[in-house]
Amino acid sequence: MGIWNPEYECMDREQLEILQGERLRNTVRRVYENVPHYRQKMIESGIKPDDIKSVKDIQNLPFTYKQDLRDTYPYGLFAVPMEEVIRIHASTGTTGKRTVVGYTANDIEMWAELMARCLSAAGTDTTSFVHVAYGYGLFTGGLGVHYGAEKIGATVIPVSGGNTKRQIEIMQDFGSTILTCTPSYALYLAETMMEMGIDPKKDLSLKAGVFGAEPWTEEMRKEIEAQMGIMAIDIYGLSEVIGPGVSIECEHQDGLHIQEDHFIAEIIDPETEEVLPIGAEGELVFTCITKEALPLIRYRTRDICRLYPEKCECGRTQLRMSKITGRSDDMLIIRGVNVYPSQIESVLLELGLTSPHYQLVVDRVGTLDSLEVQVEMTPEMFSDQVRQIEKTEQKIRNNIESTLGLTCRVRLVEPKSIQRSEGKAKRVIDKRVK
């Protein structure tokens, strides 16, 4: 696995902090001068650009929230005139007004550079065939991977999302070696391959997969690697910050290397907004220090993880972040217990008694919340006796209750009865009145 740009990816920590400080000062000055929203927030906080001397002063700056992007929709947080914006991307808007992201020519070039670093970490080189099954369009996934792969000089196969059997036929015919999509879709692809009588280990040329856009567990990684015979690499990004390319695992799969020469990471308590020490779990916050069109300051991602500074065996010196365990706004509170879908996923995949497809149904009867975990049976299990199915449900329920300290109902459902997604999986159905 290669290091695309060792000058920055392996930079001395002291030099890196000096670079970050310089870029932070420039960014703060630009948003103060060019973005009325930020200027007003800094005035209200009693902060002036000259007060920012080093990276340590970042804690004095105000946070940016997703609602800020919605309140200034569509272009109110842009720091350059619209004639300098050559690309627009946007979120899906499923939880409210979509957030809009702009890119200058330099932003696009920088994004391609970051994605080249990421894809190189997953083993991509000029001999690779990169199969892009992320969606193209306003979603940042497809084009982000595309530009990075082209910068490396790899062969790009821009399939986009959907039409699963066609995806697999193209992988087989075109010799795809690097698969990029969501992890839940990778499992769906593996399931469909089996139904088509295709053994990915023998019939395909895949070597690695770069999977992101949704939280996934170590257990899901093992499942994907076992079924497809590839190395499964976690990539992280979000549209508001730049898209994919903010951080990536290397071949050691021990945390995601953050591109710190472009983004400053912090961990905060999501309730108090207090900055937490390195190593503590909390909400991830990013400040963009090289973006021109939309340089967000202390953006609250809502993603839960931790940071650790130890140097990786690969030689990169950047801070690493753990896999995302969930989102602070996706956390379910059921009878006073905090529940992340990833916790239940870990239990299900670790037991290995069922298929990896599941859904959580939360409801309220009177004043009491209830949790039902629906899990697909394997085809073999579906033909088992009722007593055996009941024993499996009981074993899963006992393990979930032991892990969460929360009673629940487990219901095994027929194979393929839980809706598949060609993008992000829908893990939770919350029927409670908001």
Q: What is the CATH number of the domain that holds 94?
A: 3.40.50.12780
What CATH code is carried by the domain that includes residue 372?
3.30.300.30
130-162 confidence digits (pLDDT tens): 999 999 999 999 999 999 999 999 999 999 988
Q: What is the pLDDT of residue 332?
A: 82
Shared domain for 166 and 281, answered yes or no, is yes
Shared domain for 208 and 356, answered yes or no, is no
Domain-ending residue, one of 270, 294, 328: 328
Shared domain for 275 and 392, answered yes or no, is no
Shared domain for 420 and 276, answered yes or no, is no
Domain-ending residue, one of 310, 328, 346: 328
Percent over 90 (pLDDT), the chain: 77
Shared domain for 156 and 75, answered yes or no, is yes
Q: Are 297 and 62 in contact (CB under 8 A)?
A: yes
Measured between alpha carbons, how far is 395 from 434 in angstroms, rounded to an integer? 32
Q: Which residue has the higher pLDDT, 370 or 29?
A: 29
Measured between alpha carbons, how far is 292 from 213 in angstroms, rounded to an integer? 24
Name the residue range of residue 426's domain: 332-430
Shared domain for 237 and 386, answered yes or no, is no
319-355 confidence digits (pLDDT tens): 999 999 888 777 788 877 878 888 888 899 888 888 8
Shared domain for 347 and 252, answered yes or no, is no
Number of domains in the chain: 2
Shared domain for 129 and 274, answered yes or no, is yes
279-304 confidence digits (pLDDT tens): 999 999 999 999 999 999 999 999 99
Shared domain for 80 and 190, answered yes or no, is yes
- Long-range Cβ pairs for the range 88-94 (8 Å, 24+): 88/138, 89/138, 89/139, 89/140, 89/143, 89/239, 89/243, 90/138, 90/239, 91/138, 91/239, 91/240, 92/138, 92/139
pLDDT bracket for residue 96 (50, 70, 90): low
CA-based R_g, the chain, Å: 22
Shared domain for 153 and 37, answered yes or no, is yes
pTM of the model: 0.85
Q: What is the pLDDT of residue 381?
A: 77
Tokens of 153: 């000089």
Average the pLDDT over 205-230 and give the result: 95
Q: What is the pLDDT of residue 333?
A: 80
Q: What is the mean pLDDT of the chain?
A: 93
Contacts of 272 (CB under 8 A, 6+ apart): none
Shared domain for 26 and 80, answered yes or no, is yes
Percent over 70 (pLDDT), the chain: 98
pLDDT bracket for residue 42 (50, 70, 90): very high
Average the pLDDT over 405-425 and give the result: 87
Q: Which residue has the higher pLDDT, 98 or 330?
A: 98
Domain-ending residue, one of 328, 359, 388: 328
Shared domain for 306 and 350, answered yes or no, is no
Asked if residue 95 has pLDDT above 70, the reply is no
Average the pLDDT over 80-89 and give the result: 98
pLDDT bracket for residue 50 (50, 70, 90): very high
